[in-house]
């Protein structure tokens, strides 16, 4: 199996578990305290636009490889969803000078929006199409909506599948490396990914340093990630380990583990300092894909903490 096929299988597992856990898609109907938005490709990650009028969404292929990986926008008033138009205009100071735009269409997994020192918006995007990289985009208004300008990138040579990314106050970022492609090839039933053992780690990049692996950051399937406001702590999901872990960048080690009763995926900060996570409970079942049968989970709870 080629690396691309392994990537598709892995993305199917980690990005679409809840979608295909049930035999049929759940009814799209309002419930207690929530109203669903129906008829769209399920987003893997989302962030609020700078004007708070839209969501920026990432879409991965899904378990059945039925969706096209891309960036999208959703109007929060009309709920209209459309693909985000991307222009390409490299600019120094956005990523590595040596990293050039890929000929492949930009895909999107984890995404993170931040404000640069000069006041411009920056959208970091984990991209698997054609390469493993973090792409630097500048979202700008386009009529009544939004588009993005590709400004640069940082390509990974880590032999790992990247998952989520978060900007740091010094102009860099931290990205989760969920597992290595070589380990996946040696573990065709994905047992190592699912049993709670350490399969991945954290990577960090700064404008003055290349992409590097953070010391003592090994964890079970590192997934969603956020950075504290002071830039000293990295909070990330240890997905099959059922926990949210805190990594101290000065001490260079994990200093706290919050144990959960479900598998946490993405993380988001609220305006008042709460850290939100959503995930799926541990519920064993077998789902075949790409010639592989793997344990999966279902449902989507959400929890939050004051940190």
* Within a domain: 68: yes
* Within a domain: 32: no
- Asked whether residue 300 carries a pLDDT value surpassing 50, the answer given is no
Contact predicate 89/149, CB 8 Å: yes
- Looking at the 3D structure of the chain, how many domains does it have? 1
- Asked whether residue 269 carries a pLDDT value surpassing 80, the answer given is yes
Name the residue with higher pLDDT: 133 or 290: 133
Q: Please identify which residue in the block is written with the tokens 């979608």.
A: 19
Q: For the residues 232-259, what does the mean pLDDT come to?
A: 97
* Within a domain: 299: yes
Task: Please state, as a whole number, how many other Cβ atoms lie within 10 Å of the Cβ of residue 131.
Answer: 14
**DSSP secondary-structure letter at 34?**
B
243-248: strand order across its sheet = 222-227, 233-238, 243-248, 253-259
Strands 86-88 and 145-155: parallel
Q: For the residues 246-264, what does the mean pLDDT come to?
A: 97
| Paired residues of 141 in beta bridges | 146
**DSSP secondary-structure letter at 41?**
P
d(CA 200, CA 184): 11
pLDDT of residue 292: 33
* Within a domain: 35: no
- Asked whether residue 18 carries a pLDDT value surpassing 90, the answer given is no
Q: What is the pLDDT of residues 196-232, one digit of tens each?
A: 899 999 999 999 999 999 999 999 999 999 999 999 9
Domain ranges, residue 195: 3-25+42-306
* Within a domain: 182: yes
Name the residue with higher pLDDT: 149 or 22: 149
d(CA 75, CA 77): 5
Q: Please, which pLDDT band fits residue 84 given cuts at 50, 70 and 90?
A: very high
Measured in residues, the chain has a length of 307
Q: What is the pLDDT of residues 176-196, one digit of tens each?
A: 999 898 887 888 777 767 788
Beta strands in 143-190 (DSSP E): 145-155, 160-167, 173-180
Q: How far is CA 246 from CA 172, 265, 268, 298, in A?
A: 18, 15, 14, 26
pLDDT of residue 131: 96
- Name the average pLDDT for the chain: 85
Percentage of the chain with pLDDT > 70?
Answer: 82
pLDDT of residue 234: 98
* Within a domain: 37: no
pLDDT of residue 24: 56
Those residues with Cβ within 8 angstroms of residue 169's Cβ, 6 or more apart along the chain or in another chain: 227, 229, 230, 231
Work out the widest C-alpha separation in the chain, in whole angstroms: 51
* Within a domain: 34: no
CATH classification at residue 297: 2.120.10.30
């Amino acid at each position: 199996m080629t690396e691309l096929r392994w990537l598709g299988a892995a993305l199917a597992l980690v990005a679409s578990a809840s979608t295909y856990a049930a035999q049929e898609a759940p009814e799209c109907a309002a419930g207690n305290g929530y109203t669903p938005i129906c008829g769209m490709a399920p987003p893997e990650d989302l962030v609020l636009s700078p004007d708070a009028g839209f969501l920026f969404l990432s879409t991965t292929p899904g378990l059945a490889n039925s969706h096209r990986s891309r960036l999208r926008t959703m109007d929060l008033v009309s709920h209209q969803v459309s693909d985000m138009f991307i222009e390409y205009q490299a600019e120094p100071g956005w990523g590595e000078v040596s990293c050039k735009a890929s000929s492949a269409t930009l895909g999107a997994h984890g995404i993170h929006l931040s404000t640069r020192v000069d006041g411009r918006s920056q959208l970091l995007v984990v991209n698997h199409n054609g390469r493993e990289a973090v792409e630097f985009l500048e979202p700008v208004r386009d009529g009544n909506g939004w588009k993005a300008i590709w400004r640069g990138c940082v390509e990974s040579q880590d032999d790992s599948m990247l998952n989520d990314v978060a900007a740091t106050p010094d102009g860099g970022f931290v990205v989760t490396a969920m597992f290595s492609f070589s380990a996946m090839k040696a573990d065709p039933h994905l047992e190592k990914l699912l049993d709670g053992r350490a399969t991945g780690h954290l990577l960090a990049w700064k404008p003055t340093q290349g992409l590097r692996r953070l010391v003592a950051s090994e964890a079970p399937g590192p997934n969603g990630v956020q950075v504290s406001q002071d830039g000293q702590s990295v909070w990330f999901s240890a997905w099959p380990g059922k926990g949210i872990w805190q990594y101290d960048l000065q001490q260079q080690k994990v200093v706290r583990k919050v144990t959960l009763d479900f598998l946490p995926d993405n993380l988001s900060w609220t305006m008042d300092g709460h850290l939100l996570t959503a995930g799926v409970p541990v519920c064993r079942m077998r789902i075949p894909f790409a010639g592989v049968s793997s344990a999966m989970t279902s449902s989507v709870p959400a929890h939050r903490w004051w940190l």
